[in-house]
Amino acid sequence: MNLYELGFDKWFEAHAAELLLENRGIARISAVDRGSYLIRSETGEVPAAPTGALSYQIESPADLPCVGDWVWVQYYDNDTAAVIHGVFPRKTFLRRKTAGANVDFQMIAANIDAAFIVQACHFDFNPNRLDRYLVMAADGGVEPIVMLTKIDLISQDELMQKVAIINSAYKGRVLAVSSLTGSGFDEFQQTLCPRRTYCLLGSSGVGKTTLINRLIGRETFDTRPVSDTGEGTHTTSRRQIIVLRQGAMLIDTPGMRELGLVGADDGMNAGFEDIVRLSAKCRYADCSHGHEPGCAVRAAVDRGELSKDRHLNYLKLRKESEYYEMSYIDRRKKDKTFGRFVKSFKKQIRE
């Protein structure tokens, strides 16, 4: 497959020119499995690993190559393996917050044209969770398409009710499918365009992999029944690009139990113990350490006890967490239309 069939376009071309790269050394990350990579280019699909220098330069795990990334590489051993020298800027991305001491992100996939946000009709249907996935898509500039699966398990009336609930907050398209009966698959197929990359997002057990198997027409990838409680078992562990016959690319992802969107407070405080300690002396209990009078954090900066950079960094990260905390619906109320919201947020990312 040539690079353009794999999704390379003018946008990446411009960056290749900036980086002074020839097409020969450009490839796309086609699979990631616990730190091992496969890359794909005109040369075919081969294993690859980041160079020591690249691993060393990385400031956050989010900077490591992820599935869908464009990278520049050097082949060796007669083009049967490669080292990854660098990662192209990401046109779009899907990421989530990692739990832990520092506020950080984990990349789920990069350079995605649209994400199917998958929920199963019977056990998994949850507007709040849907909301969080919509925020995640908007965050990375990815177009969301809501998808209800397993519609063979509910009546037409129940389905209409669920679609109405979704549409009360989200005006985009809702696909309703059954991998068992094939219902809704014509529309699903028509949504998939050649040279475009799609990602399936959703809880474990909602039927993401089954969707792909049905599209391919055979049981290529493992699926597993869900337990009676509706809890999935995390059958899919690797993230990989599956190229469909008509030329569209689809990325299956392991189900996410929770989105990893750490609460603004928990996530923030863990990385800024010094600021938390100082804030005990702020005049107001809910002081944001911005412009409030009597702020002990700002006072410490003025006295030179806390670096200005650290304070600014804190304010910046808090703004980011708050963005995540605000629900999609709240934000929709603020903006007149979803389109405007996405546009303004995309602009914000670029700035």
Ligand X SMILES: Nc1nc2c(ncn2[C@@H]2O[C@H](COP(=O)(O)OP(=O)(O)OP(=O)(O)O)[C@@H](O)[C@H]2O)c(=O)[nH]1
Give the residues lining the site for ligand X (CB under 6 A).
149-150, 152-153, 178-180, 204-210, 223-226, 232-236, 254-255
Element (H, E) at 72: strand 70-76
Compute the distance between CA of residue 136 and CA of residue 259 in angstroms, rounded to an integer. Answer: 9
In the complex with ligand X, the residue whose CB is nearer, 186 or 330, is 186
Element (H, E) at 49: strand 44-50
In the complex with Zn ion, the residue whose CB is nearer, 249 or 287, is 287
Binding residues for Zn ion, rule CB under 5 A, total: 5
Residue 180 interface partner, choices Zn ion, Mg ion, ligand X, none, CB cut-off 5-8 Å depending on type: ligand X
Q: Which residues of 100-118 are buried (b: 16+ CB within 10 A; e: fewer)?
A: eeebbbbbbbbbbbbbbbb
235 touches Mg ion (CB under 5 A): yes
Residue 103 interface partner, choices Zn ion, ligand X, Mg ion, none, CB cut-off 5-8 Å depending on type: none
Q: Which stretch binds Mg ion (CB under 5 A): 58-66, 124-132, 141-149, 232-240?
A: 232-240
Min CB(169)–Zn ion separation in Å: 35
289 touches Zn ion (CB under 5 A): yes
In the complex with Mg ion, the residue whose CB is nearer, 178 or 209, is 209
What is the full DSSP assignment across 193-219? -TT-EEEEE--TTSSHHHHHHHHHTS-
Contact of 9 with 3, CB cutoff 8 Å? no
203 touches Mg ion (CB under 5 A): no
Contact of 247 with 103, CB cutoff 8 Å? no
In the complex with ligand X, the residue whose CB is nearer, 225 or 304, is 225
In the complex with Mg ion, the residue whose CB is nearer, 92 or 235, is 235
Min CB(181)–ligand X separation in Å: 7
Min CB(278)–Zn ion separation in Å: 7
> End-to-end CA distance of the chain, in Å?
35
In the complex with ligand X, the residue whose CB is nearer, 95 or 289, is 95
Min CB(180)–ligand X separation in Å: 4
Compute the distance between CA of residue 87 and CA of residue 81 in angstroms, rounded to an integer. Answer: 17
Q: Residue 72 forms beta bridges with which residues?
A: 26, 86
Q: Which stretch binds Zn ion (CB under 5 A): 111-119, 156-164, 277-285, 317-325?
A: 277-285
Three-class DSSP labels, 220-276: CCCCCCCCCCCCCCCCCCCEEEEECCCCCEEEECCCCCCCCCCCHHHHHHHHCHHHH
Binding residue for Zn ion, selected from 66, 287, 300, 301, defined by CB under 5 A: 287
Compute the distance between CA of residue 190 and CA of residue 184 in angstroms, rounded to an integer. Answer: 10
Min CB(96)–ligand X separation in Å: 15
Min CB(202)–ligand X separation in Å: 6
**What percent of the residues of the chain are helix, what percent strand, and what percent coil, each to the nearest 5?**
35, 25, 40
Q: Which stretch binds Zn ion (CB under 5 A): 70-78, 163-171, 201-209, 290-298?
A: 290-298
282 touches Zn ion (CB under 5 A): yes
297 touches Zn ion (CB under 5 A): yes
In the complex with ligand X, the residue whose CB is nearer, 217 or 304, is 217
275 touches Zn ion (CB under 5 A): no
In the complex with ligand X, the residue whose CB is nearer, 92 or 203, is 203
SS3 350: helix
Compute the distance between CA of residue 205 and CA of residue 150 in angstroms, rounded to an integer. Answer: 11
Min CB(336)–ligand X separation in Å: 35
Give the residues lining the site for Zn ion (CB under 5 A): 282, 287, 289, 295, 297
